[in-house]
Structure 1
Amino acid sequence: MLSLGAPLAAQTVMLVAMLVERRWMFAVMIAPSLVGCLASMLAALQSQKPGAAAQDANDGLPHGSDGQAAASGAAADGRTAGDPSGLSAPSLEALHGLDRDPLLWRVVAPRWLAAPSMRAQVGVGVDGPFCIDLAAQGPHALVAGTTGSGKSVLLQSWCLAMALNNSPDALRFVFLDFKGGSAFSALERLPHAVGSVCDLDLKHAARALRALEAELTRRERLVAQERVSAIHELRRPQPRLVIVIDEFHALKNQLPDYIDRLVRIASLGRSLGMHLIACTQNPLGQVGSDMKANMTLNICLRVRDALQSAELLGDGRAAAISPNSPGGAWVADGQSVTAMRCSPSHDIDSLVSAIGAAAAFHGIDPAAPLFTPPLPSSFLLDAAASMRAAATTSPAGVAVPFALGDDGVGVAILALELMAGNIGVIGGHGRGKTTLLDTLAAMSRNLPGLSVRRSQRIGGEMVTERLHHDAAAARTFHSGSAAPTAPRTLWLVDDADALLDPFAADAHAAAFQQALGDPSTTVVFAVETSKHVRVPEHCTTRVVFPTGERTIDLMDGIPAELLATCDHDDIATSGRAVLLRQGAAMWMQCATVRKSPPNHRLLPP
């Protein structure tokens, strides 16, 4: 009644003051509000229930007292059971009966013969083993608890329990650990794991979030193509994907631009078999309303104050959990609020190894990674193996591997199609242009049907060398028959700035500009600036080394979106460039190859 009586008393005093000072208009304005407060107070008095007085009395108890915990239980609607502080949990191995066999994998392997299920025993409740079904009670979960409450142990036990019931063909994990990587270091070895990142490498973490968005889109397309409503109705059902995030608030603070991707997963994940488990120390204000609306499963371990508990449970009971009961929690799934205490694994490494052995017994290969680490600072190319791989993808034999490409999610070897037109390499001194030409020369040296030439400026003079000449191809070409399918000549030109000058009049410039328009010749030229480069007249493919100056990089053709991901490491790393071809752009790391004995001779201009 204090909350209603205080405003009533305050407005009464104000009305009396206005009447004493004869401010009739202000008194008239206050009177309706005074009448409303009086009516609300009378209505509350009439509707007050017997249990309300007991609740008001409990409001005066000190925080954390036994009386408050009892009052929290009494305030529940009859669906609350037990107290997590009084529960004692066995180890996860004992809970699942794994301690009955010295070879744990022999207990795990038969479990995967049953139908996949997201129902997992994670600990004990008042009535015995306690199970959480992420698919039925979720599809997403929010876990909260202060430091030392047992959040990380709960996440580990929960993931292990799900892995015990589902083979890697039915369940996959992605771990996002923003607590330095300590929480999921052991779980990374699970055959179910398709990715694990931590906050020590934010580029890697951003790749994981982009990969998750790409996976969501892929599953949407599968469902749309087969005209079904959910992923499990597909002819070839996809495995469920559980994304586990420890310290969600740190992810939100360090990668705020990527939170929308997680919100989209929370909105669409139920029908697409994608589940989120977000863990945080303080749930107040950390999870947006759009995301929280789809998180129907709330697990609250010990928190510091009743407000944090009320955010997930509707009252402050989790604040009364004893600090001597790590792993104790209240679980609210929208229908009931139940006490539980999670069971920790006494040897998590042995249990992970047993799950891996069970996968090997079933002949299940480890799941393919959902994303890869970022580009390395250097990349050594095996010429023989790379050329064999290129030959399988290009029947004409004119795809030359030269770099490692990064599409923002995964990395793969890039190859240049020599029939696709000229190639311009743009970058400052020391960025790796000459190394790129060396790599192309080494990789194309022994290609059949191709003559390779290399020009570079030595002592102020442009010197041209013949690196490889296919005499048989030349005879076939000059005999009057049809030209070979591969380009007849590959010309690698370094320091070509002066040759592109439209006012250049020397013989080298004339031959160079004529070769740019010759369809039987592919010219790969390197310049320091793009001042005289015309696209697509001079080249259809460009390799641009960023300078760090935004205006120059934009003029060279690097898209603003890609340039926004460029940092100091990209500028400082030799050979780091952007490949622009066919309207697409991606980061790449130029390859180097092992030196081979030279096999060339000087040619006249």
Structure 2
Amino acid sequence: MTTKRHQDGTTLFLISMVAPVAGQTMMLLFMIAERRWMFIGLIVPGLIGCLASALGAIAARRRTGRTTGRSEPATGTAMASDSGDAALQARCAGYAMPLERLLGLRQCDASGLWRVIARRWDQATHMRTGGMRGSPTAFHEIPVGVGPDGRPVTVDLPRSGPHALVAGTTGSGKSVLLQSWCLGLALRFPPTMVNFVFLDFKGGAAFQTLHRLPHTVGFVSDLSLDHAVRALRAIEMELKRRERLVAEHHATDVDGLPSPPPRLIVVIDEFHALRQQLPDYMAQLVSLASLGRSLGMHLIACTQNPMGQVGNDMKANIGLNICLRVRDSLQSSELLGTADAAAISPGHPGVGYIHDGESRTIFRCAPPRSADALTMGCDRAARFLGQPDVEPLFSPPLPKCVPSTDGERPVADHVGRHDGHGVDALAPVPFGLMDSGVRTLPLELPLHLGNIAIIGATGRGKTSALRVIGERLRSRPGLEITRIVKTPEGYRRHSVVSPARPAMPSDAPPPAPRRIWMVDDAEALLDPLCDDALHEDFMEAIGSPRCLVVFALGSSRHLRFPEHCSVRIVFPTGDRTVDMMAGIPSTTLSMLGADDASIPGRAVLLMQSKAFPVQCHAPSGPGSGRTGENTS
């Protein structure tokens, strides 16, 4: 069969070479027969060129056949570019060297592994703090496998990259290679020098162990796209933060800073799935690829099919290509320039090629014998050296329920304004969690800014939010709280005076109690045509700088901002037009999911020209519940 294909290929080759020469010769004969001597001068040079080209190509093909002992493969066939590559692939496949042995850890038991890791981290730290940021190249080279001669094959991401593209079909060993590579980095450098962000778009299985490394500052999977979006936003924010640091210190890159931040390596498995599911967020990764080198941020993108998955703007900044077995020679040529990776046998998982733009190296990756043991060793080494816990780059989205705290901090512990007699009773109150778009943070609702309006439909939690604020204020001294409740007969007033302030010196006048109005269903009281007896008192209180009014509304129809309030808590309706009319910016609405409008307690905090999604505390005590409006 091979001989027949060879003969067919030779015949086609000869036809392709002879046909142009024959065509030019026939045209010359016709011109001679018709005695068109002027045109003969135009044909003769072309005929000579075609003849010379055909003879040269035939001679070159014969020389190649004698040298290699076989013909070249036809276009599109999955064959190695030379017979030696098949032998090299087989030799590489014969080396089943675990990562522990490759890194010199094969004789370390569980109790001794962390000691070796701690020594290596200590060495890396001393080299960095000793001014050796430009340390020898070998120090940055991380072994990832072995070559056909049994020697380690290393990868230097900062020098060869600064970004890498890894390709390979299912079962080729991509996930194992990523594990070996990341573990090799973690075993060489401490968390203060290298951090990881793992984005796994095949269910989270690839990084199930690696995300427990003390170096990991973020891990998401495609099971939560909202979480993945937060990760991409966080990467963009970290890129801008490092840009500001470099600019402020007038440095050329992060290595020139007095305290360089850790190198951040973003590892993406199944990059094509990320591109398909979140196409609007590719700009963040393009920025990372173009600016990451000088900012100490690197990208390792892994995909099954590199054809068309990585845009030219990203590809221009990716200098390191690693190709394991692929199904099509075109995919191999995309990364290596040859079809060699398409000829790797399915029985040789882990065999691949590294191409850094200068040379092409064949290797077989060294799988870790126990990734759990290596991860645990890194964790113990970090605790032994007193390494600070890495700060997460991002956090999960807001939870659907935030239980109320057991009790508020003592008033003396609050950081608030002072009125000359101790801490102000209007210090911020714990209210829930707020979402910055990247991280969730504890929210303390400011009271000193002015009146607070809580706007939402029935069942969304506005009455519960009002109750949470009342619970926080009830125990504070020096407050005169007026609670307004709507009844079928009209609005009713209930006043409560909180405990007195601590004893003051005898010569100091006693401070006057602060006035606070807590009003539920206040929409009718805001109506200029309201005839309720409390309408005038309510409008007087809402305009008085000496009184804080916290009121709940079903809609913002009668609300005038900022005359009536300076802080708003708006529960979204799910209707974009209505929510924007209520004051929620479009950028904040884009952060909300489809189900946020149905989650009790999910709102948007609007204050000082800023807007944040929040999850309010659920009220404590009898009848608080998670979902209900409490009108008592």
TM-score (norm 2): 0.83
Q: Cα deviation per residue 1:52-83 (whole Å; 9 max; x = unaligned)?
A: 56499413389345xx4526859xxxxx9876
State the partner residue of 2:32: none
What's the CA shift for 1:490?
A: 1.8
Does the alignment pair 1:448 with 2:477? yes
What's the CA shift for 1:396?
A: 3.3
Does the alignment pair 1:558 with 2:584? yes
What's the CA shift for 1:245?
A: 0.3
State the partner residue of 2:95: 88
Does the alignment pair 1:173 with 2:202? no
Aligned partner letter, 1:59: P
State the partner residue of 1:407: 436
State the Cα RMSD in Å.
3.4
What's the CA shift for 1:274?
A: 0.4
State the partner residue of 1:494: 520
State the partner residue of 2:141: 119
| Whole-angstrom distance in 2 between the partners of 1:140 and 1:417 | 45
- Among residues 551, 555, 562, which one is paired with 1:536 in the alignment? 562
Does the alignment pair 1:101 with 2:130? no
- Among residues 105, 119, 125, which one is paired with 1:110 in the alignment? 119
Indicate the percent of aligned positions where both proteins have the same amino acid: 47
| Whole-angstrom distance in 2 between the partners of 1:464 and 1:303 | 76
State the partner residue of 1:429: 458
State the partner residue of 1:24: none
- Among residues 221, 233, 236, which one is paired with 1:213 in the alignment? 236
What's the CA shift for 1:227?
A: 0.5
Q: Which structure 2 residue ranges, 5 or more long, are not aligned?
A: 1-12, 28-38, 126-138, 418-422, 625-632
Shift in CA distance, 140/38, structure 1 to aligned 2, threshold 3 Å: farther
What's the CA shift for 1:434?
A: 0.3
Aligned partner letter, 1:566: L
Matching of residues 167-566 of structure 1 within 5 Å = 167-382=190-405, 384-386=407-409, 391-392=414-415, 396-397=424-425, 398-471=427-500, 488-566=514-592
Q: Which structure 1 residue ranges, 5 or more long, are not aligned?
A: 16-27, 75-79, 599-605
| Whole-angstrom distance in 1 between the partners of 2:468 and 2:545 | 23
| Whole-angstrom distance in 2 between the partners of 1:392 and 1:73 | 70
Contact 1:58/1:71 (<8 A) preserved: no
What's the CA shift for 1:469?
A: 3.1
- Among residues 69, 77, 81, which one is paired with 1:63 in the alignment? 77
Report the 3-state secondary structure (helix = DSSP H, G, I; strand = E; otherwise coil) of the residue aligned with 1:415.
strand
Report the 3-state secondary structure (helix = DSSP H, G, I; strand = E; otherwise coil) of the residue aligned with 1:216.
helix
| Whole-angstrom distance in 2 between the partners of 1:307 and 1:538 | 67
Aligned partner letter, 1:58: E
Contact 2:165/2:322 (<8 A) preserved: yes
What's the CA shift for 1:35?
A: 11
| Whole-angstrom distance in 1 between the partners of 2:570 and 2:252 | 45
Q: Cα deviation per residue 1:374-421 (whole Å; 9 max; x = unaligned)?
A: 000000132535566970366535211212100110111112221201
| Whole-angstrom distance in 1 between the partners of 2:44 and 2:484 | 95
TM-score (norm 1): 0.87
Contact 1:402/1:439 (<8 A) preserved: yes
Shift in CA distance, 52/360, structure 1 to aligned 2, threshold 3 Å: farther
Aligned partner letter, 2:565: C
What's the CA shift for 1:238?
A: 0.8
More displaced, 99-108 or 345-354?
99-108
Shift in CA distance, 295/467, structure 1 to aligned 2, threshold 3 Å: farther
What's the CA shift for 1:5?
A: 6.4
| Whole-angstrom distance in 1 between the partners of 2:238 and 2:216 | 15
Contact 2:97/2:366 (<8 A) preserved: yes
Shift in CA distance, 111/35, structure 1 to aligned 2, threshold 3 Å: farther
More displaced, 328-337 or 558-567?
558-567
| Whole-angstrom distance in 2 between the partners of 1:351 and 1:552 | 54
What's the CA shift for 1:315?
A: 1.2
More displaced, 140-149 or 505-514?
505-514
Report the 3-state secondary structure (helix = DSSP H, G, I; strand = E; otherwise coil) of the residue aligned with 2:82.
helix
